[in-house]
Structure 1
Amino acid sequence: MRSPFAVAALGLALALTAGCGVDTASPARAAARFHTAVAAHQEAAACALLTPTTAEKLPDPDETCAQALAALKLGPGGRVTGVEVWGDDAVVRMAGDTVFLHRFSGGWRVTAAGCEPRRDLPYDCEVED
């Protein structure tokens, strides 16, 4: 049998965290939609899921975002293995990629994809702002 103090402490902890749930499904869905569009060779749709800054920086001056994305040959994202959200930013770890996102009023947009960790250095990303 648990002590009344332990039960009260557990109840208080549950009450304090009840309204503080973090939405991890939305960034995971956005990352999956991005990779689904890339895999289906729907690069224009994938570009629409990038942040405006990322979509502008991706292409060279003589190409479109879709052309630049197609040339990168991003690998499959795969299943989601982890999601971290902090404020309006998130990272979605997938079996084949790490995707960084930012939340806008219209939803989550990709800021970086095709990312691989590098020991003590920042991620190396194929697509980034």
Structure 2
Amino acid sequence: MRLPLIVLASALAVTGCAPDTGSPARAAERFHAALSAGQTQAACAMLAPESAEELPDPGQSCADALRELRFGPGGRVTEVSVWGEDAQVRLAGDTLFLHRFGDGWRIRAAGCTPVRDLPYDCEVED
């Protein structure tokens, strides 16, 4: 299991921290891969600007704030719904909401769990 994590970390380093220009599912997978690899700075770069600004407490960096949160394990994509410029990606262990910006898909909310008769409760949201 260690070799795939090393390969994944190398892939993240090569691809950089840019938003994903492909699909919302790929963006969600990359976000969780960065979290799993401990690359919270890279994960912050994948957030929508509003989400990245709202996340940290005063005097705290986005990367430090992400380290303190509890996210589901991510896992494989189980469902993708796209409505114009917005999307919901359900992974085996998390639900994320994304928005397509000019430079690609960015995470607006992550670590989301459904709440009966209410919207999702998310660890990260704008």
TM category, shorter: 0.7 to 0.9
Match of 1:66 in 2: 63
| Paired position in structure 2 for 1:19 | none
* Higher RCO (Cα < 8 Å, 6 or more apart): 2
- Whether 1:103 and 2:107 are equivalent positions in the alignment is no
Residue 115 (structure 2) pairs with residue 118 (structure 1): yes
TM-score by length of 1: 0.80
**4+ aligned runs moved over 6 Å, structure 1:** none
Q: CA deviation at 1:39?
A: 0.6
CA distance in 2, matches of 1:53, 1:102: 11
Q: Which runs of 5+ in 1 are unaligned?
A: 1-24
The CA distance in 2 between the partners of 1:107 and 1:62, in whole Å, is 29
Mapped partners of 1:32, 1:93: distance in 2: 10
- Tell which structure's C-alpha radius of gyration is larger: 1
Give the Cα separation in 1 of the matches to 2:83 and 2:101: 14
State the 1:74 CA deviation: 1.7
What is the deviation of 1:75? 2.5
Matched to 1:34, the amino acid is F
Normalising by the residue count of structure 2, what TM-score does the alignment of the two structures yield?
0.81
Query: Residue 122 of structure 1 aligns to a residue in which SS?
Result: strand
The CA distance in 1 between the partners of 2:37 and 2:72, in whole Å, is 12
Q: Percent identity?
A: 69
Q: Is the 8 A contact 2:70 2:123 kept in 1?
A: no
| Residue of structure 2 aligned with 1:45, choices 17, 42, 51 | 42
The one-letter code sitting in structure 1 at the alignment partner of 2:48 is T
SS at match of 2:112: strand
Q: Is the 8 A contact 2:56 2:65 kept in 1?
A: yes
- In 2, the alpha carbon distance for the partners of 1:41 and 1:71 equals 12
